[in-house]
Amino acid sequence: PHGDQAVYDAMVRMAQDWNLRYPLVDGQGNFGSIDGDPPAAYRYTEARLSPIALELLKDIDKNTVDFKPNFDGTAEEPEVLPAGFPNLLANGASGIAVGMATSLPPHNLGELIDGLVKMIDRPEISLDEVLAVLPGPDFPTGGRLHKGGIKEAYAKGRGSLKLRAKVHVEEKKNRVALVVTEIPYQVNKASLITQIAALVRAKKVEEIAALRDESDRRGMRIVIELKRGANPEVVLNRLYKHTQLQTSFTVNLLAIVEGEPKVLSLLELMRHYLDHRREVVTRRTAFELKKAEERAHVLEGLLVALDHIDEVIALIRASKDPAEAKRGLVERFGLTEVQAQAILDMRLQRLTGLERERLLAEYRELQEKIAFLRAILEDEGRLWGVIKDELLEIKQKYADPRRTVITTFAEGFSPEDLIEDEPMVITMTAAGYVKRTPLEAYRAQGRGGVGVQAGRTKGEDEATRVFVAQMHDQLLFFTNQGRVFGLKVFELPEASRAARGTHVRQLLALGEGEEVATLLAVRDLKAPGDLVFATRRGVVKRTPLLEYQNLTSSGLIAIHLQPGDDLIAVATAAPGDDVVLATRQGKTIRFALAEVRATGRASQGVRGIRLKEGDAVVSLAVIPAGWEGYLLAVGSRGYGKRTPVGEYPRQGRGGQGVIGFKTGKKVGELVAMLPTDGDEDLLVLSKRGQAIRIPVAEIRVSSRATAGVKLMNLAEGDEVASAFVVEREG
């Protein structure tokens, strides 16, 4: 026994239509809400059994089930209910015990009965035939159910089902909103709204402008207003991933069968229910037959008495007591004691002629009923016909339309399907701000211009890494602690040319003191090839790209860095390619990728170039095998040139290299060394956020040991921060 609060809580749940598909209690008063509000205390509420609950108890007084003593032996309770419908499958069940748990989903009663009727008609029915009329669970809160996994769960008795909220898109006054009208089973609406709001506050979903609960008596309505330009499908799928707008329902069809817990398939559960109904209907029929035969027996005696009424009256008047009268009736008319007692109990009004006709009519009806009941017990087909008719009667009375829509979710949905794969300029600053800007925002200008504003910096913050990537590319963020994190380009918040962007710590789970050293765009992490790393001290490392495909939120080890060294660049390479390292002082070395042995992620690499004191590697380029283009050099004071790649001789790894750019006070130090075919544009960004886009063809071809021509006019104190090659505009 438990306290009455536990009993009340159990009763309250049976009245909640968001917990039970077919509530068994009709409650009056406050019985809680889908927001998790508690019910009123039981002194304020009233309850009665719902009509469908009475179907579970129907015929319990006809010896249909066995009874046992209750917990203290003061009363008897049924071991199981007659159950006119399979409540275990209709309303589902969940619970835990020592070492086991059960979790049965609810189903639509009409579909369930259709499946049972099919099984009665064809006992050897297959699961596929049942699924044709009973396609899957039907949850009280509706929603959408993924078709995948249903058949397996029904066949094995174990599985997992995916549930999603029912959401549609509304457009009003140039604003787009996601409207949630149904949520997954057992999800608290208030908690769901809090969960979405927390994502917005944490800036994990930045496209949401407002969040409102407009639910009322007419139904549920959660409104998620989106910012202008937001893609509702992308936002929705992100919410599916991070909130309870999508949940999983664990299926564990564990039930007690003859006192033993067993995991059953759907067909076995249905068969056990039908076997139970067969026993119930058989016992009820036998009970009713016995009662009918007993009544017919009494009526036979009464009719005999009425046929000899004068003699019966005389015999009774002559008897000194009822016992003598009973013996006399038994001996004179061949009656049983039961019949004789019934005659003695008969009232005088039963002696009328009309009453005799009523008794005869009742007797004839009983004979027909007895014949019908005996036929049921003697004919298995008739017995199943009765079970079938009773199930169909319940279906007619209580069946309702399906609430949960069974559909197919896009497994492994990728937002790339909805996002145009357009080029973006990725910008990162020294302070850790990162953004993406449409490439078209940087218009082409003539060589020697001052450019346009490319980004608003704060204090001494300056752009340290700028390059072009496609929206579907994978961005790899390499940190000063040798780890790597991944984001898709479209997952970066878009910002205008002049905006600062978003701090990288809002996007990545960086550790204390950890900063992004460089980043790289990769089209496909599963593609063949290698990643080539270059450090400020001239170390190079080569690791297969495949080793980085399983990126996690906590990052992966990318490279082991020596104390005092920094990672300055990472590039992709293929067998047969050459590697070019360029230093701040204009030294350049070119060597075969094959000279760098491929090693694992946690290795530290080998020497790529021998540096003079005060020099450092600033640029890494990969030259494809057989390629005959140019290497484009850009200096810190805005000078640049392009030189045929053939002028850079292939050398052995680890040498001092050759002059690749003539540095000096006027032209400054080397900032970037970029491979180009000559038909692209060059995008140059300054530390103060100025940008210029120049056709590469306008840049003079010069020899290795020169500084080239003026590419960009810089303000006093400003310097080139980064440069990269992009596709020709227009």
Residues annotated catalytic, as ranges = 44
Encoded tokens for 5: 């609060």
Residue from 549, 550, 551, 548 nearest 559 by CA? 548
Q: What percent of the chain is helix, strand and coil (3-state, nearest 5)?
A: 30, 30, 40
Buried b (16+ CB within 10 A) or exposed e, 428-446: bbebbbbbbbebeebebbe
Residue 147 burial (CB count, 10 A): 14
Encoded tokens for 528: 């063949």
Question: Residue 331: what residue type?
Answer: E
β-sheet bridge partners, residue 607: 539
Distance CA 521, CA 512 (A): 25
Ramachandran angles phi, psi of 433, nearest 5°: -90, 135
Which residues fall within 8 angstroms of residue 450, CB to CB, at 6 or more apart?
690, 692, 712, 713, 714, 715
- DSSP assignment letter at 216: B
Distance CA 85, CA 22 (A): 11
Distance CA 536, CA 555 (A): 22
- DSSP string over 543-603: EEGGGGSS--TT-EE--PPPTT--EEEEEEE-TT-EEEEEETTSEEEEEEGGGS-B--TT-
C-alpha distance from residue 444 to each of 64, 426, 730 (Å)? 89, 17, 9
Residue 504 burial (CB count, 10 A): 23
Residue from 553, 435, 410 nearest 489 by CA? 435
Distance CA 555, CA 558 (A): 9
Distance CA 115, CA 132 (A): 9
Buried b (16+ CB within 10 A) or exposed e, 696-728: beebeebebebbbeebbebeeebbbbbbbbbee
- DSSP string over 654-685: TS--EE-S--BTTTB-EEEEEEE-SSSEEEEE
Burial class (CB in 10 A: 0-12, 13-18, 19+), 582: buried
- DSSP assignment letter at 72: T
Residue 239 burial (CB count, 10 A): 23
- DSSP string over 445-471: --TT---EE-----TT--EEEEEEEET
Encoded tokens for 148: 């995948």
Distance CA 51, CA 693 (A): 77
